[in-house]
Amino acid sequence: MRAIALLLVLLAVPASSTAQESRVPGPEITRGKGDKCVADTAYMRRFHMDVLTHQRDEVVQRGVRVEKFSLRECVACHATRGDDGKPVSINAPGEFCASCHEYAAVTIDCFQCHATKPEQGKQARLPFPMTAAASPESAQ
Amino acid sequence: MSGFDIDRRKFLGAAAAAAGVALAPGVTLYGVGAAARSPDEPASAEVRWGMLIDVGKCASGCNACVTACAEENGLTGHGRQATDAQWIRKVSVKDPGTGAQKNVPVMCQHCAEPPCVDVCPTGASFKRADGIVLVDKHICIGCRYCMIACPYKARSFIHEDLSDQKPYAPRGKGTVESCTFCVHRVDKGETPACVEACADKGGGAMLFGDLADPDSEISRRVATYASQQIRADLGLDPGVRYRNL
């Protein structure tokens, strides 16, 4: 009994320490604009690849374009600007996509074809209004 | 489109919808002739996008359509005509007997029976429900069979790494591409860039519209004036028709 009680106490100690104390290195993720993404972080982390794969068939083959998971809007929100005010390629090291994908060692080839910077000279916007809560900055 | 036509459509649509409710439980008749497509609806098979080009109005020195297409879709050249991407080009034809010369803008003809779709081994080359023939570059493996099959030489292969693509016109190395009728604009209810440029800066030779709608401008003109398809003998039924060819 005393051994079990001691074991429980020992197990409880690490569980009570917070995530910031974790010794496992994690990715440094640059935040996008606005207060939140179109879906919560846990969902996006797990499902963004499935969303993109399904979404692209809907857009290209069926022409269904109003989806809050538009890749263009992802880039528009998550792209950053350099010191000179010009947009930085979202595919560059340290930027949003690379910050996780370098950590996870998963190569993505989206941006061989897709633009890495939001539309130049125009406000980042979908052709049609976003159905989900849009970040206030991207709607400017 | 005159206001009268839109009102008539809405009336018919409302009448049809009202009639549909009375038909039977669970059976609905949808109204005819909707306005510009809502974005969450898929491309409709009731529409067939096409173009009518009046070659007589196409001036020999003008390349407004070609420039506009390159600008709109982010086409970059390397000065190598044999392998550079080309979505629309002007072909000069001369009648050998009379010496009469014509300039014909040729792009993907968006055939109803596209040979590029027939030969594609992966299904990347496909015809959308509304008649626009596209390459799904997620699936394209770059075999270039469609380039061989196309009688109009509409397709191009991308040989180099690209950067700074237009956000609404993705294009990448190792895939095949061709004129999309500016599908990103058409889905918003606009016309292709070449048509707009020709109307603004060129001779107003190009007309874009819905061939399946008998009331559209293009359908009326095609029904009134003689027009031809290039290589109509192949039986592909292109969506692009030419007048005064």
Percent of chain A with pLDDT over 70: 71
Percent of chain B with pLDDT over 90: 75
- Per residue in B101-123, pLDDT (tens digit) is 999 999 999 999 999 999 999 99
Q: How confident is the model at residue B27 (pLDDT cuts 50, 70, 90)?
A: very low
DSSP 8-state assignment for residue B192: -
Indicate the SS3 state at residue B241.
Answer: strand
Q: CB of B165 within 8 Å of any CB in chain A?
A: yes
Q: How confident is the model at residue B193 (pLDDT cuts 50, 70, 90)?
A: very high
Sign of CA dihedral B19, B21, B22, B27: positive
- Per residue in A102-127, pLDDT (tens digit) is 888 999 889 999 998 887 754 443 33
pLDDT at A10: 66
Give the whole-angstrom CA distance, residue B30 versus residue B21: 10
* CB contact set of A125 (below 8 Å; sequence gap of 6+): A76, A138, A139
Q: CB of A125 within 8 Å of any CB in chain B?
A: no
CA distance B238 to chain A (A): 20
- Per residue in B144-190, pLDDT (tens digit) is 999 999 999 999 999 999 988 999 999 999 999 999 999 999 998 99
Chain B residues with beta carbon closer than 8 angstroms to that of A60 = 134, 136, 138
Given a cut of 80, whether residue B10 has pLDDT beyond it is no
Instruction: Tell me the residue type at B114.
Output: P
Q: CB of B187 within 8 Å of any CB in chain A?
A: yes
Find the range with the poorest average confidence among A9-13, A16-20, B5-9, B229-233: A16-20
* Element housing B103 (H / E): strand B101-107
Q: Do β-strands B88-94 and B49-54 pair in parallel, antiparallel, or remain unpaired?
A: unpaired
The partner residue sitting opposite A60, judged by closest CB among B130, B136, B164, is B136
Q: How confident is the model at residue B192 (pLDDT cuts 50, 70, 90)?
A: very high
Tokens of B156: 């191009």
Instruction: Tell me the residue type at B163.
Output: S
pLDDT at A55: 87
pLDDT at A13: 58
User: So what's the ipTM on this one?
Assistant: 0.77
pLDDT at B75: 93
* Element housing B133 (H / E): strand B133-135
Under 8 Å between Cβ of B242 and B226: no
Percent of chain B with pLDDT over 70: 85
Find the range with the poorest average confidence among A87-96, B29-38, B177-186: B29-38
Given a cut of 80, whether residue B71 has pLDDT beyond it is yes
pLDDT at A136: 41
In total, the C-beta contacts within 8 angstroms joining chain A to chain B are: 68
- pLDDT averaged over chain A? 74
Given a cut of 70, whether residue B33 has pLDDT beyond it is no
Instruction: Tell me the residue type at A70.
Output: S
pLDDT at A70: 84
pLDDT at A127: 36
Percent of chain A with pLDDT over 90: 9
**In this predicted model, which residue has the larger pLDDT, A83 or A28?**
A83
pLDDT at A134: 38
Average of per-residue pLDDT across A29-35: 71
Contact A114 B165 (CB under 8 A): yes
Give chain B's length: 245
pLDDT at A21: 60
**In this predicted model, which residue has the larger pLDDT, B75 or A20?**
B75
pTM exceeds 0.95: no
pLDDT at A54: 87
A63 vs A112, B42, B44, B61, B65, CA distance in Å?
22, 5, 9, 36, 25
Given a cut of 70, whether residue A48 has pLDDT beyond it is yes
The partner residue sitting opposite B188, judged by closest CB among A114, A116, A127, is A127
Average of per-residue pLDDT across A56-79: 85
Sign of CA dihedral A122, A126, A127, A131: negative
A 94-113: CB under 8 A from B: 112-113
